[in-house]
Chain A
Amino acid sequence: MHVVVCIKHILDPEMPPASFRIAEDGRSPVEAGLPRAIGPFDQNALEVALKLKDARPETTVTVLTAGPAEANEALRKALALNADRAVRVDLERLPGPDSATVAALLAAAIRRLEPAPDLVLVGRQSGDWDQGVVGPVLAEKLGAAIVGLGYAAEPADGGVIITRQVDDGIEKVRPKRAAVVTVTNHESNVLRLPKLKDVVAAHRKPIDVIPAAELGVPLDEPLVEAVSLSIPQREAHCEFLEGEPEEMAAALAERIRRWLSA
């Protein structure tokens, strides 16, 4: 089975809010010099693929990203975790949330892969602009089935069974053709840590680079644009209650009663 995992190298979501600043254009973040990471849900997607490979070692895992050379760092992390191949669509960082263009580029790159993938995994949303659009639009462009909010996959007679969240519970589904799964977080798919020797070895593994211009996708016609970006102001006055737990609790209970009866 051939599994493709699409990952994005994003501004590290764990960075302190105070480090987040808005660029002079007023509609994009300052990116230079800030730490980056693989998107949190893309990490979950990668773990789902690696678990398939644990279960069936003959599974091939290809990691794919669209981004500048710096994004090789994300691909190397995946290679260090035993992904078999890494492909980067060479793309200048886009100024805004142009997910449809990214999805079109990824679809074009996936169509070039041999053999054609049976399964494409992508985080439910990127963790930066968080549009959650790449997965569904990829399915549309590839003519693949879509399975939203999957969190686990198991091999099953030639195909794959996906466990996913639905609004009132969980579902086990079997796609009847190649499928794109948008992956959500679950205790079972927290990304594993690499072994040190594999981190070193990953630096010698090749990364295939495809220039974005070769893929026949217009790059200057974003469907979605940010008009502005602002940092939410939160009022900062917190009243700290003092005393022993019993005293604090009594004061708080009184206040809660007042709030609820207002």
Chain B
Amino acid sequence: MPDVYVLIFAPGGAAARAALEPLGAGRALAEGLGGKLAGVVVGAGAEEVAAEARRRADAVIHVTGDHLRAYEADAFTAAAEHALKGRDAAAVLTLADAVGREVAPRLAARLGGSPLTEVSGAQVEDGRPVFTRPVFGGKAVAKLVGRRAPVVVTVKAGAFEAPAESGAEAPLETIQAPAVEPAVEVLAREAAPAAGVPLDAAPVVVSGGRGVGGPEPFQKELKELAEALGGAVGASLAAVDAGWVPQSYQVGQTGTAVAPTVYIAVGISGASQHLAGISGAKHVVAINKDKDAPIFRVAEVGLVGEWKPIVDALIRAVKAGK
């Protein structure tokens, strides 16, 4: 049977918030291919994650071992390979986060399959899985196929919803992964300063670009507006490259893809790669002094002018309306 496997990495027993989303893409593919959907949970102490997966997939494999407490590329790649080797997988999906990006292409090489990355669409056409994703900085969308099975695919966060619980509990197989000597020694780890609302889950995102002129507005006006609306602050690539905010703020094809109800772009011209990251937004508002900026081509509402007086007035208007 051409089955679909979804890798869920859970170092230290915890998986990323979006780690179950690829099960949604996997379910659609498994139905189209007439195979079953299996979850592969990789990590020591990840029994709860495995239980979550059992309520959504047809079978679950939990790969564990003492060396899988913290993430290490070689160990997690080898564990995934150990779980999948010899199984008849048509497709292997996983979340496109830092772990998935490191592991998936190497796993494809080890399984003799085809690597595909950052997909936002998956369907079966002519009996084979076909994936869509933005390319050329969002100027185009490609439909891609892998020629050798399994396709090993990373799935963009927010592109799919995790399937609802089925009400049943899928069978669980627990296997031990062979120990692997780590190739990389971690010397220090620094947690990112805790943000309020995470970007990819915020109902409102207020983003700043080159046009806001410096780092201060991100800590002041944009933050104040975002907080008044219960949202999060984002930024364009240009603002990140200028060092005004850390990369974790970046919205766009290579940053976070956001899908808020309202997206407010302040001083952002609207490069394709930025627009590729906001295609999930329901309502886009652009504030820019250049009325010809490309951002107005995707905006539903446009405000032309200096950003600061407009944003200051908007903060007052939002607070007054509460």
Question: Could you list which residues of chain A lie within 8 angstroms of chain B, going by C-beta atoms?
Answer: 11, 13-14, 17, 20, 22, 27, 29, 41, 97, 99-100, 124-125, 127-133, 135-137, 139-141, 145-149, 151, 161, 165-177, 179, 182, 184-188, 190, 221-232, 234-241, 245-246, 248-250, 252-257, 259-260, 262
Chain B, residues 201-225, CB within 8 Å of chain A (1/0): the string is 0011000000000000000000000
| A171 and B143 alpha carbons, distance in the complex (Å) | 35
Chain B residues near A262 (CB, 8 Å)? 261
- Find out whether the CB atom of B101 lies under 8 angstroms from the CB atom of A148: yes
| A236 and B185 alpha carbons, distance in the complex (Å) | 51
- Find out whether the CB atom of B302 lies under 8 angstroms from the CB atom of A229: no
Chain A residues near B298 (CB, 8 Å)? 234-235
- Find out whether the CB atom of A249 lies under 8 angstroms from the CB atom of B184: no
Chain B, residues 306-322, CB within 8 Å of chain A (1/0): the string is 00011011101110110
- Find out whether the CB atom of A241 lies under 8 angstroms from the CB atom of B142: no
- 23 interchain pairs, CB-CB under 8 A: A17-B139, A22-B140, A100-B109, A132-B118, A133-B105, A133-B115, A139-B106, A140-B106, A140-B110, A145-B73, A166-B189, A169-B189, A173-B184, A174-B185, A175-B184, A184-B247, A223-B113, A225-B145, A226-B143, A228-B142, A240-B296, A250-B313, A256-B283
Determine chain B's interface SS by DSSP, over half rule: mixed
- Whole-angstrom distance from the CB of A76 to the nearest CB of chain B? 24
| A195 and B163 alpha carbons, distance in the complex (Å) | 56
- Find out whether the CB atom of A171 lies under 8 angstroms from the CB atom of B192: no
Chain B residues near A249 (CB, 8 Å)? 310, 313-314, 316-317
With both beta carbons as reference points, the residue of chain A lying nearest to B273 in the complex is identified as: A13
> When A and B form their complex, which 5 residue pairs have the shortest distance between CB atoms, in order from nearest?
A187-B243, A249-B313, A145-B183, A253-B317, A136-B105
Which of these, B16, B106, B146, contacts A136 with CB under 8 Å? B106
Chain B residues near A257 (CB, 8 Å)? 321
- Whole-angstrom distance from the CB of A125 to the nearest CB of chain B? 7
